[in-house]
């Protein structure tokens, strides 16, 4: 195969030239590839869907890691669900944390990412503060919720799409257990798809999370390889201080952190919670759709 055609939508599809295949595995029901593309660098696809590319992963990872962590201001214990490529971990360990647990369902994804997508983790899997757990993310939060262990200040759900191995990370039960793993002033964020094409996903998450958190919102950033404009991230917390930090506070925290970013900055942080009108509108669906959708 010389081209990769995404199979996410029936009527439109993005096509990537495969310049060099680094890795391909086909097991029943699962097809994973890592290849090079001149424009985007190394690209990882799973079941016909682009997961991450070297060229634009920074937007996604910076926004899903730094927004909750800098908003919280004193995040010491972090939980990452999924994120086997290591990009999220790389951003998280830039903070002065005490501990990060990453739960990945498949050790081979981590091994493969270290070997074929080395820039994503960039050594983060060696960090002594990391506890890498190979388990189903759902099982993990379910067990952890009742374990009495110290809760997390930030939980980041870096999942695949709702259809596929990440399915359970989009269920009511998962959100409930995750909340029980979160400290009272903690923040939970999840990747939430591209609402221009997947408005339903936005509504489903809103239904699941809004009953759990006093502050449930979305923020967004455009990730070019997630075709369709803005990607949304779901945000849930009971910590009202974290919800709307002053720009000056963010600036202070950010400069104290002293890291270089390529998408994130304190102004973008605040601005990313401003949603385009079509996104706001799709959060209040027409009655026809409510009646028949579920």
Partner 1 sequence: MSALDNRPLLTLESVDQPEQQLAHYQQLLKQHGSPLLVFDANVLRNKFESLQKALPGVDLYYAVKAHPDSHIVSVIDALGGGFDIASAGEMDLLLKHKISGRRTIHTHPIKKDQEIRDALRFGATTFVVDNLYELKKLVNYRSRIGVLLRVSFRSESAKVDLSKKFGCSPDEVIELVSAAEKLGIHIKGLSFHVGSQVDNAAKHVEAVHACHSLMEQINLSADKPLSVLDIGGGFPADYALAGFDIQTFCAPIRDALSALPSDWHIIAEPGRYLIAPAVTSITTVAGKSHRNGFVWYYLDDGIYGSYSGQLFDHAVYPLQVFRGGEKHASIIAGPTCDSIDVVAENILMPSLEIGDLIVGHQMGAYTAATKTRFNSLPDAKLIVENL
Shortest gap between Cβ of 1 and partner 1 (angstroms)?
6
Site of tokens 């509504």: 203
> Binder to partner 1 among 248, 277, 284, 292 (CB under 8 A)?
292
CB 168 within 8 A of CB 174: yes
> Binder to partner 1 among 18, 22, 31, 227 (CB under 8 A)?
31
Cα gap 159→64, rounded to integer Å: 11
Cα gap 280→288, rounded to integer Å: 17
DSSP 275: P
Contact window for partner 1 (CB under 8 A) among 20-28, 34-42, 52-60, 76-84: 20-28
Q: Rule CB under 8 A: is residue 21 a binding residue for partner 1? A: no
> Binder to partner 1 among 47, 127, 135, 185 (CB under 8 A)?
47
Cα gap 86→102, rounded to integer Å: 9
Task: Show the site string, 186-205: x = touches partner 1 by CB under 8 A, - = not.
Answer: -----------xxxxx----
Sheet order of strands, 77-82 included: 130-134, 99-104, 77-82, 152-158, 182-191, 230-237, 215-222
Known catalytic residue at 19: no
Task: Read off φ and ψ for residue 215, nearest 5 degrees.
Answer: -120, 105
> Binder to partner 1 among 123, 131, 163, 274 (CB under 8 A)?
163
Task: Show the site string, 226-255: x = touches partner 1 by CB under 8 A, - = not.
Answer: ------------------------------
Q: What is the DSSP string of 102-145?
A: EEES-HHHHHHHHHH-HHHHTTGGG-TTEEEEES-HHHHHHHHH
Residue closer to partner 1 by CB (options 108, 289) is: 289
Q: Rule CB under 8 A: is residue 277 a binding residue for partner 1? A: no
Residue closer to partner 1 by CB (options 164, 276) is: 164
Q: Rule CB under 8 A: is residue 106 a binding residue for partner 1? A: no
Q: What angle do CA 229, 235, 241 make, to 5 degrees?
A: 130
Looking at 56, 85, 158, 238, which residue is catalytic? Answer: 158
Q: Rule CB under 8 A: is residue 164 a binding residue for partner 1? A: yes
Footprint on this chain of partner 1 (rule: CB under 8 A): 1, 5, 7-11, 13, 24, 26, 28-31, 47-48, 163-164, 167, 197-201, 288-289, 292-294
Q: Which residues are catalytic?
A: 158
């Amino acid at each position: 195969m010389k081209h990769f055609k995404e199979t996410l939508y029936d009527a439109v599809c993005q096509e990537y030239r495969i310049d060099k295949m680094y890795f391909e595995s086909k097991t029943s029901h699962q097809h994973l590839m890592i290849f090079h593309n001149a424009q985007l660098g190394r690209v990882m696809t799973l079941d016909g869907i682009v997961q991450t590319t070297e060229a634009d992963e920074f937007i996604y990872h910076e926004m899903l890691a730094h927004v909750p962590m800098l908003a919280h201001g004193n995040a010491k214990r972090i939980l990452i669900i999924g994120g086997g490529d290591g990009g999220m971990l790389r951003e998280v360990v830039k903070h002065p944390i005490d501990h990060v647990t990453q739960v990945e369902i498949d050790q081979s994804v981590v091994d493969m990412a270290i070997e074929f997508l080395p820039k994503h983790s960039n050594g983060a899997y060696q960090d002594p503060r990391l506890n890498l757990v190979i388990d189903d993310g759902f099982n993990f939060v379910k067990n952890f919720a009742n374990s009495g262990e110290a809760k997390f200040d930030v939980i980041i759900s870096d999942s695949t799409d709702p259809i596929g191995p990440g399915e359970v990370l989009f269920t009511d039960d998962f959100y409930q257990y995750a909340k029980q793993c979160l400290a009272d002033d903690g923040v939970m964020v999840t990747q939430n798809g591209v609402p221009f094409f997947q408005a339903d996903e936005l509504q489903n998450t809103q239904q699941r999370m809004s009953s759990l958190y006093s502050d449930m919102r979305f923020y967004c950033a455009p990730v070019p390889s997630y075709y369709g404009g803005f990607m949304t991230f779901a945000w849930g917390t009971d910590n009202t201080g974290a919800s709307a930090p002053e720009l000056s506070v963010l600036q202070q925290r950010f400069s104290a952190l002293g890291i270089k970013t390529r998408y994130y900055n304190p102004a973008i942080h605040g601005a990313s919670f401003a949603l385009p009108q079509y996104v706001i509108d799709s959060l209040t669906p027409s009655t026809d759709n409510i009646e028949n959708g579920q």
